[in-house]
Amino acid sequence: MYKLVPILLMVCGISCVKKGVEVEEKYKKGIILRTKFIPGEKWKYQQETINTFTVASPFGVLGTTEMFSNWETIIQVEDTVEEVDIKITFKNVETTMKIGETLKRGEMLERLENKSIYVKLSKEGSILEVKGGEIFNECRERGGCALFYSQKEKGNPFSSCGWTEWSRFLPTKRVKIGEEWEVTTEGIKSIYRLIGIEKRMGVVCAKIKGKHKINQMIDPGEIQGMRVKTTFRGEGEEEIYVNVEDGKIMETKMTTSIQGETKTKLGEMLFYLEEERKMKITPSF
């Protein structure tokens, strides 16, 4: 019996390699990736982030905060007539913050529990408008969540919310394995490369790697009665698995390193942000 084990493993290995080759061969001439939105459709992501946030002045480091978060994001497509209307609901939000040696709950983010935001997308997948409830506005006004606003009042959620501009990162034409394409949004230049085709959670996916250069300014106006301007500079790397049939993200991992500078009437403040983010779809939802 034990003599059969190596033979069975070899046969299994050959079979898996053969299937992988067949999958790659099918898409040898390239693939077209497009996100398909169906009214009434729902899907869910499990998300995790680890952030290390350091604040400094010209005289030295003032403090470091680590934040560990995980939550579920439920996506529901409400309409696709002229543009795509999507409702995004946060569930099971858990956040722990470590400030120095002190642990505390991230109450502001946990207040997002069961709250929803509404996103209007173009047919190409870029964000046209973001509307949220009072908790999002409060978070913004307190200056604790730059992730809920950007240069424009309509919003442009970045990174930490757990989504980029949806299918905006997908290539606009057919691409072959090994090919690269560039996507530029406000202050972010990204180079993506189709690495290969493989199965993920039983679904045939395009494996994509991205590299990001960030040079962005956020001008939210006044926060707590003080004029604030913040500049971000940094870079990030991302690995994404996209369903080749409907263009949905199945799984993504991203690391980001950012240096920022905030200017107020009280002077300049420097900060450094290191982030690791993971997002995986829940197929059974």
pLDDT at 194 over 90: yes
11-20 pLDDT, tens digit per residue, is 444 444 444 4
pLDDT at 220 over 90: no
CATH architecture classification, 32-281: Roll (2.30)
Local confidence band at 99 (pLDDT 50, 70, 90 cut-offs): confident
Which pairs with CB-CB distance under 8 Å and at least 24 residues apart come from 184-190? 185/156, 186/150, 186/151, 186/156, 186/216, 187/151, 187/214, 187/215, 187/216, 187/217, 187/232, 188/158, 188/212, 188/213, 188/214, 188/215, 188/216, 189/213, 189/215
Local confidence band at 163 (pLDDT 50, 70, 90 cut-offs): very low
Question: What is the pLDDT averaged over residues 69-88?
Answer: 85
Local confidence band at 182 (pLDDT 50, 70, 90 cut-offs): very high
Question: What is the pLDDT averaged over residues 248-265?
Answer: 85
What average pLDDT does the chain have? 76
pLDDT at 168 over 50: yes
Question: What is the pLDDT averaged over residues 205-228?
Answer: 77
Question: What is the pLDDT averaged over residues 233-250?
Answer: 91
Q: Count the neighbouring beta carbons within 10 Å of the beta carbon of residue 188.
A: 20
pLDDT at 183 over 60: yes
pLDDT at 268 over 60: yes
Can you give the pLDDT at residue 135? Answer: 61
Domain ranges of the chain: 32-281
- Ranges assigned E (strand) in the chain: 42-57, 60-79, 84-99, 102-105, 116-121, 127-131, 180-185, 188-200, 203-223, 226-243, 249-264, 267-281
Closest CA to 159 of 50, 76, 250: 50
pTM of the full structure: 0.77
